[in-house]
Structure 1
Amino acid sequence: MATPAAVESSSATAVARALLVVLAAAALCSSAAAGEPELIISAGRSIARRHAVPAVYVFGGSLVDAGNNDFLPPPAPRAVPPNGVDLPRTVLRRTGRFTNGYNLADIIAQHVGFKKSPPAYLSLMPLSSFHLLRGRVGTNFASGGSGILNATVQLFAKTKATIIRAGLVGRERLDSLLARSLFLISTGGNDFAAFGHGGGVPMSQAPEFIAGMVTDYLSYINRAITANGECNDVGNYLSELFNSLLRAEMAKAVAASMPGMKYSIASLYNVFSDMIANPTLAGLREVKRGCCGSGKFNGEVDCTMGTSLCTDRGKYLFWDKVHGTQAAYRWAVLAFFHGTMRDAEPINLDQLLMAPYSSM
């Protein structure tokens, strides 16, 4: 579960026509070694339509985990309080998200007509699986700490098989629903730990290593559908290398084997960089310190009840040493849906929802 779920080739026909969001890896200037991925997204309007897609399926790491790690044993990281401190009281599971409120998966889901991210896969019980078994709403397979290079768990293929066995929706109808669903993939940043500091991969091998990461990333899609507060130059170099190669290889892969797929690569890297350069544009004030943590720039220790917590959380870019705040994510998703090609390419998310197969 601590790795992104891949889909068996039996699901590829339907998913290859779906709306795709991919979150690629990126590092930024921050108070800590923040690894903020980029995002390939299918999009909707900022004023949410009533279920613009039948379902959302989420894959990836802690930027989009809606609570799967709560059900995993150590060493899987846990989003303990005060993570989730600003979630509404109506959200029964108030932990599990690695930020103060809603995360990227939640906010993207809200833009396409849902209240929040689909439920965490590991939280599902028989009664709570009803909508999923009808091919509706979807589920969240994301697990904090996951990466591209680990062995994958075939959760999506298992889920599709379970839906078919349940008999609430036929195979052809399910394929039609999947073809019009939104697939959000957010992963990659955790793999940069392989470089330096005992990671085992020298920087001289970065281009070759990252090319392999991109190849693995695209194979999943094809089957499934700084301590001183300055810029982390190494992380930024690795992120930009990965992101530029991902764009080029994604375009080639879609043209060659997935011509029906409509996708958008949303750049969290670029949007966060722009917020750091001009925080007032997003209504922010603090772009170097983490809101929750301790140590230098509040970015050396994970967010727990024993660390300091800022009170003006809506003014911070970084929630902790790695993740953004709900406020930063809301601004980022607006850019993904309505921004220029710097924010999302080859089309933004709003344009993506207008693509074929996105109508109900």
Structure 2
Amino acid sequence: MAYNFSQMTSFFFSLLLVFCFHFSDAQKVPAMYVFGDSLMDVGNNNYLKISLAKADFPHNGIDFPGKKPTGRFSNGKNSADFLAEKVGFEASPPPYLSLVKSNKSNGFPITGVSFASGGAGIFNGTDALFRQSIPLTKQAEHYTKVYEDLVQELGSAAAQDHLSKSLFIVVIGSNDILGFFNSGSDQAKKTTPQQFIDSMILALKLVLTRMHDLGARKYVIAGIGAVGCCPSQRNQNKDECNEEANTWSVKYNEALKTMLPGLKSELQGMDYSYVDAYSVFSRFIETPSTFGFTEVKSACCGLGNLKARVPCVPVANYCSNRSNHVFWDLYHPTETAARIFVDTVFYGTQQFAVPVNVNQLIAT
């Protein structure tokens, strides 16, 4: 087959891009693409003008480098940051909307992008309480644009190779569960909890399949944590965990663990690590001293009972020792809890990550 000069130039340029952007020895993967909710948001919601689900104000970020709020729902770094560090990046992938709002003409960074958004759910409309967020389906649409940009920059074959070695992180579902069990939920009036769980799994499966169509091969997929034990739920339940929300979180996790092996058999080249957020955070709550925690019920930042009647806003009080609290605010873990969580699922046994942990997934 003959190539003209233009084709040869394009071919060698693509090779040059691959070599120039070959990830360093310190990096275990070439890129991270992060999908999810406020547990992983690193600032996307800062760019949503009418959203109430924001963390771009004090006291968020008081332990983050620079001690300024960044849009993370945390006193410091969140799980996305610690996972990025584990795989050799200096920082988390930047928020998609920050790139779109600044200078899209330069393209998207080859080391990854974060699409995670506070208040997001698997379903569209889960964010209704907070007026605006980016649900998972929309996050997947944004990824399509990044994928197309990458193919244009590297060429199809090189882009596919790049993406096949990258990590695709999916941490979502908590807002769907909490929304369903909120008193007066329209969904709860229309469907049973089991039907709702089944529809969550199906909707997630469709998105994961779409991501596979666009190059994703290595997935880190988190189950839902013990959401019924967050300060917000305890405040509504006489300081005790909402066991109904916890029960259905477990049922969702079981359904997710059942669905993933079947999906792997359907999607060529797919590998995954299911990380058991429920087990990890349950250990924090049940045996806190093992991890250096002394406070598992109350938020560190907020006002009212358990500091959970008013969120972590600038007028709220915050604790002086964040490292001994599991929860930073009425929903989210402290930086310390997030760090221990990532340490556990990255290197942990099958009690916390199946069929392999995250480090083993990278090596496949």
1:98 counterpart residue number? 73
Relative to the length of structure 1, the TM-score reads: 0.79
2:155 to 158, 162, 170: 170
Residue 167 of structure 2 is aligned to residue 190 of structure 1? no
Instruction: Write the deviation string for residues 7-57 of structure 1: whole angstroms up to 9, x where unpaired.
Output: xxxxxxxxxxxxxxxxxxxxxxxxxxxxxxxxxxxxxxxxx9711000000
Instruction: Write the deviation string for residues 159-201 of structure 1: whole angstroms up to 9, x where unpaired.
Output: 1112333x3x222111100000000011111112123411123
- Letter of the 2:202 counterpart: T
1:321 counterpart residue number? 330
Instruction: Write the deviation string for residues 325-360 of structure 1: whole angstroms up to 9, x where unpaired.
Output: 0000111111101222221111111211211xxxxx
1:215 to 197, 202, 211: 202
- Letter of the 1:201 counterpart: Q
Matches within 5 A, 1:208-357: 208-225=195-212, 226-227=234-235, 228-255=238-265, 257-355=266-364
**Number of equivalenced pairs:** 300
Query: Could you tell me whether the CA contact under 8 Å between 1:76 and 1:144 is conserved in 2?
Result: no
- Letter of the 1:63 counterpart: L
2:132 counterpart residue number? none
Of structures 1 and 2, the one with the larger relative CO (CA 8 A, separation 6+) is 1
Going by fraction, where is helix more abundant, 1 or 2? 2
Instruction: Write the deviation string for residues 211-249 of structure 1: whole angstroms up to 9, x where unpaired.
Output: 010010111001113222222101101100100000001
RMSD: 2.0
Unaligned runs of 5+ in 1: 1-47, 356-360
Query: Could you tell me whether the CA contact under 8 Å between 2:239 and 2:297 is conserved in 1?
Result: yes
Instruction: Write the deviation string for residues 49-107 of structure 1: whole angstroms up to 9, x where unpaired.
Output: 71100000001110000100000022341102111111112x8x732000111111111
Question: % of aligned pairs identical?
Answer: 37
- Letter of the 1:78 counterpart: K
1:88 counterpart residue number? 65
1:201 counterpart residue number? 187
1:68 counterpart residue number? 44
In structure 2, relative to structure 1, the CA distance for the partners of 1:294 and 1:155 (3 Å cut) is same
- Matched position secondary structure for 1:207: helix
Relative to the length of structure 2, the TM-score reads: 0.78
Distance 1:210 1:129 in 2: 41
2:143 counterpart residue number? 156
1:121 to 77, 96, 102: 96
Distance 1:98 1:344 in 2: 24
Shift of 1:117: 1.2
